[in-house]
Chain A
Amino acid sequence: QKEVEQDPGPLSVPEGAIVSLNCTYSNSAFQYFMWYRQYSRKGPELLMYTYSSGNKEDGRFTAQVDKSSKYISLFIRDSQPSDSATYLCATHILTGGGNKLTFGTGTQLKVEL
């Protein structure tokens, strides 16, 4: 079983829809949570990161973390065709030092006109 599970999709929505992307994780030691967006032939681009449970909003994007149920979500409001990409959730443990992210496999999103 992977430490971070993510529905691969693909997910197809009409322009203007609210998109909900979700991940679950198994390791309660994970403390930081991130969402990356990856366009075709590009590297992942950081969208949002959060440390605590609750919501964090940035423009049309809202990241939500529920540590009690080990569930993280990304909501996209008023989705646009330019949002079409693969969305990756990632988690991180605060160790004595070092960066090591554990990623979900990514959800492919297509926003259609």
Chain B
Amino acid sequence: KAGVTQTPRYLIKTRGQQVTLSCSPISGHRSVSWYQQTPGQGLQFLFEYFSETQRNKGNFPGRFSGRQFSNSRSEMNVSTLELGDSALYLCASSLEGVGSRSYNSPLHFGNGTRLTVT
């Protein structure tokens, strides 16, 4: 079974530009989450999508947005890039996400997209 696939693996952008990152979840997984990883802050939650609806959102500015398609694939967009947006962006998928008493749907991560803003 293929894992979570993120494209591209590396991106270099200039301040002020925008960028779109793509994520294909594990087959059958309906929940897709996005995290930002930096050396100083570690992994921080951006947002989660489930059945094409944003279900959770972290404390990031509105420049960060995302969407999910009917096949569960997801994209994340960052507009007006800033130097501080340089990070590893990780996508994770799970079967359903938590919503019942039994949690048996852990997150599985992709290898990330390394974004460098110059």
Contacts and interface: CB of A to CB of B under 8 A. Distances in A.
13 contacts: A43-B92, A90-B43, A92-B103, A94-B98, A94-B103, A97-B55, A98-B55, A99-B33, A101-B33, A101-B35, A101-B43, A103-B35, A105-B42
A46 interface: yes
A92 B58 CA distance: 14
Interface residues of B, number: 30
Given A99-B48, A100-B45, A100-B48, A43 B106 contact: no
B90 interface: yes
| Contact residues of B: prevailing secondary structure | strand
Interface in A68-102: 88, 90, 92, 94-102
Nearest to B54: A98
Contact of A46 (B42, B107, B112): B107
Which residue, of A43, A44, A102, has the highest number of chain B Cβ atoms within 10 A?
Answer: A43
A99 B42 contact: no
Interface string B1-37: 0001010000000000000000000000001010100
Contacts of A41: 111
B38 to A, nearest CB: 10
